[in-house]
Structures are given as C-alpha cells and as structure tokens.
Amino acid sequence: MKPQHHPDSSSLMSYAAGSLPDSIATVIACHVSTCEQCQRNVAEAEQLGRFLMESSLPEQSEEESQHIDLAPNARDDILALIDSDEYVEPQVVVESDVQEAPSDVPLPLQPLLGKSLDNLLWKSMAPGLKQFVLPATSGTLRLLRIAPGTSMPIHSHTGSEVTLVLRGSYYDEMGRFGAGDVADLDPEVEHQPATATGEDCICLIATDAPLKFSGLVPRLLQPFFQL
C-alpha cells in the first residue's frame, strides 16, 4: 500500500546531503526504501546537491557566485525548484524486487535484524509496551511494540522525532498512520498517539533528544522507560 504520510521536504534534503543524525537517517532510509515518491525526491535533491557543488567551484563569475550563495532563503528556492516543472526527474531504481518473501523488516535493517520482527528479543517496558533498542552513533533509535488499543502519555519533544510504522497503525492529532507512513515531528508538536485495535503496532522511532512528557507521573516514569 502507498504511504500516506512522508518525511518533510527539508528532512529529505538533509538526508540527501548526509547531514541528519544517523538515527533519523536510518528511519528515513527505511521509508525511502519502499516509497517511490520519496526515492524520486531524494534523487532530485542529490542531483541538485551535485549541481550546487559543481557551481561553487572557484572559477566562476561574480554573478554566478551570488546566484549559488546559500542565503537564508536558499532552501525554499531549492524546494521550489524541485516542485517546478522545469526540473527533469532522474531515473530511479526501485529496490523492491530484491526481496523474495514479504517481510515487515525494512530492507536497510534486514542485515541487522533478519526478516522477522517477531523473533527479536523484545524487552517489556510497561504493560502493553515493549522495546528493542537499535545501535545509533547519534540520537536514539528503537523499535516500540505497542499492544492494540494502547494510549501513550501526551508528550512533546526537545528535538526532532521521526517515526516509521512497520506493522499495525496508530492515531494522533495528525491523523492515522499505517505501515509505511512516517510522522516527522518538529520539536514544538505535542501529541498523544493511541494504537488502533486488532494487532500490535510496531514502530521504528528515532529521536535526536529526549522526549518531554507533560504529566508528572509520565515524567517520573521517563527514566524507567528510557524514552
């Protein structure tokens, strides 16, 4: 099924430029591995990055230099260019036919996790909440396995949080997120996700800073959850 929620354009640009913390880059890579729309956007951003690099080589006229100077509005201009019709879309290689059997482990994580999320050594954090921590050199990266019909404590973030749903679905103030969907949240967003009924919801979640819980009890529990 086609994803309904994608990473922000700015996150895809940063991903293409290799400037995201590796925890967040991993989540974006997992989404991009199955999303043709984001594969195209990343390929375009990479092509644009190469163009900017080549344009900024020393031998150039003053006028060109002003043109590629990365002013505060540069990112908006770049995004507008990507959206414009003048931009020629590069060919994209779709990796989906590499896989033999369907698996809900994204391709980039299969070397680490294998092909089944059910065989992992899940650690119980609270009733209805299990966690599996993944290695990351910057930020935190974890899988959460949340029982059907579970409501998480309301929280905002001190940094970015990017979530990719791998199985099941959840709802929050932004809508419904099913397998393949990404929630790319800014620090100021406060939300209270709740899983749908029927099956466990398994999400891959990267944060570049700890979460900020609103209530006293969730705040007290935070060190135990290691969230």
Token pair recorded at residue 163: 């979530």
* Residue of 16, 35, 144, 152 that binds Zn ion (CB under 5 A): 35
Question: In angstroms, what is the minimal distance from the CB of 38 to Zn ion?
Answer: 3
Residues that contact Zn ion, how many (by CB under 5 A): 4
Buried b (16+ CB within 10 A) or exposed e, 27-63: bbbbbbbbbeebbbbbbbbbbbeeeeeeeeeeeeeee
Among residues 168, 200, 205, 170, the alpha carbon closest in space to that of 185 is found at: 205
Specify the residue, 28 or 227, whose C-beta has the smaller distance to Zn ion: 28
The region of 30-38, 47-55, 140-148, 193-201 touching Zn ion under the rule CB under 5 A is 30-38
Token pair recorded at residue 32: 């991009």
The region of 34-42, 67-75, 78-86, 122-130 touching Zn ion under the rule CB under 5 A is 34-42
* Residue of 5, 6, 142, 157 that binds Zn ion (CB under 5 A): 6
Token pair recorded at residue 60: 């150039």
Quick check: 82 binds Zn ion (CB under 5 A)? no
Specify the residue, 6 or 142, whose C-beta has the smaller distance to Zn ion: 6
Q: What is the per-residue binding string for Zn ion in 36-65, x denoting contact by CB under 5 A?
A: -xx---------------------------
Specify the residue, 15 or 170, whose C-beta has the smaller distance to Zn ion: 15
Identity (one letter) of the amino acid at 199?
A: E
At which residue do the structure tokens 């899940």 appear? 122
Token pair recorded at residue 206: 């990267």
85: Cβ contacts below 8 Å, ≥ 6 apart: none
Question: In angstroms, what is the minimal distance from the CB of 31 to Zn ion?
Answer: 6
Question: In angstroms, what is the minimal distance from the CB of 180 to Zn ion?
Answer: 8
Specify the residue, 28 or 129, whose C-beta has the smaller distance to Zn ion: 28
Instruction: Compute φ and ψ for 19, nearest 5 degrees.
Output: -110, 10
Quick check: 165 binds Zn ion (CB under 5 A)? no
Quick check: 5 binds Zn ion (CB under 5 A)? no
Query: Residues 57, 58, 61, 67: is their CA dihedral positive or negative?
Result: positive
Specify the residue, 148 or 178, whose C-beta has the smaller distance to Zn ion: 178
Q: Using CA atoms, how far apart are residues 106 and 136, in angstroms rounded to an integer?
A: 16
Among residues 17, 19, 15, 44, the alpha carbon closest in space to that of 30 is found at: 15
Binding site for Zn ion (CB under 5 A): 6, 35, 37-38
